Amino acid sequence: MRATAFAPASVGNVAIGFDILGFAVDALGDRVTVARRPEPGVTISAIRGTPMDLPLEPERNTAGRALLAMATALSLDFGLDMQIEKGIPLGSGLGGSAASAVGAVVAANALLREPRSKLELLKFAMEGEAVASGSLHVDNIAPSMFGGLVLTVGIDHPRVKQIPVPPSVRAIIAHPHMFLSTKQARAILRRSVELSDFVWQTANLAGFISGCYTDDLDMIRASFEDVVIEPQRQALIPGFADVRQAAMDAGALGCSISGAGPAMFAWALESHAEGVRAAMQREFARHGVKIDDWIVEFGSPGARVVASE
């Protein structure tokens, strides 16, 4: 009759995979409880844990829209009421809207007579994400759903690939205490890309992924550079260039913007992770920016049901 799902936060883009590559961050996430009710339709009875007003109307809410898509596609003959507990700060670049949408469909799935595959649920969650960012992109939804580092190819028929990350690598996440709208951070992007940047970015994405598959840390380090999106967005994050440089000087494999920002992330070997974290903390503090930070591994199992009755 009722199920609660946890859906992890995520880092979108991972520098070089704009809109198609992301990894799950289990250290924080949203919890969504969905209960069956007799009358068909979707309602949201509570949203907790966030200091900002989020719409309770299902059509305007990312999780609500995802459940509406699911209820319509599956012609559900019962209704769904949802309570959302936000554990991911809004406008942080850590995939908060995606996690709510993913948590909603995973919880609702546990109430179905015939549960659907995660790939099918992904499509419903994508419709929710579109409400938040104004566009259909999958780089937060897919890792939140599946866990780990995830590449998604295609929108109408998404193909999802979990990419192995060398076991010695950790991610360092730094979340500045400020709000940045994903819509705004997308609106500033130029619509076209220089041919030379296209070549460079393509090489970096291919190098990064092949480096992950072959445990080639040198290849990962050499290709961990976004030459298209990061230069256009970095001015939105106070201290970005200094934080990035400090992380690299401390031995990071790479450092960039998490999703649309303002959160930043770095990858580093486990032995360097604390040093990279300290360097990022120091530089943000020097720029007067308060942050939360985490060091995480890549073993997240993705969204899952944590309670049901």
Cis amide linkage into residue 262, ω under 30° from 0: yes
Binding mask 280-299 for ligand HSE (x = CB under 6 A): --------------------
Q: Which of 64, 91, 93, 128 binds ligand HSE (CB under 6 A)?
A: 93
Position 155 contacts ligand HSE (CB under 6 A)? no
For ligand HSE, the closer CB: 62 or 223:
62
Radius of gyration, alpha carbons of the chain: 19
Whose CA is closest to 263, among 47, 15, 6, 86? 15
How many residues bind ligand HSE (CB under 6 A)? The answer is 15
Q: What is the DSSP letter of 204?
A: H
Measure the CA dihedral 121/126/132/136, to 10°: 180
The alpha-helical segments, DSSP class H, found in 42-117 are 62-73, 96-109
Position 17 contacts ligand HSE (CB under 6 A)? no
Length of the chain: 309
Nearest position to ligand HSE, beta carbon: 259
Position 12 contacts ligand HSE (CB under 6 A)? yes
Position 92 contacts ligand HSE (CB under 6 A)? no
Whose CA is closest to 158, among 127, 112, 199, 114? 127
Left (φ > 0), alpha (ψ -120 to 50) or beta: where does 119 sit? alpha
Touching ligand HSE, residues 106-135 (CB under 6 A):
133
Q: Which of 144, 152, 182, 234 binds ligand HSE (CB under 6 A)?
A: 182
Binding mask 249-268 for ligand HSE (x = CB under 6 A): ----------xx--------
* Binding positions for ligand HSE, rule: CB under 6 A: 12-13, 18-19, 93, 95, 133, 137, 139-140, 182, 185-186, 259-260
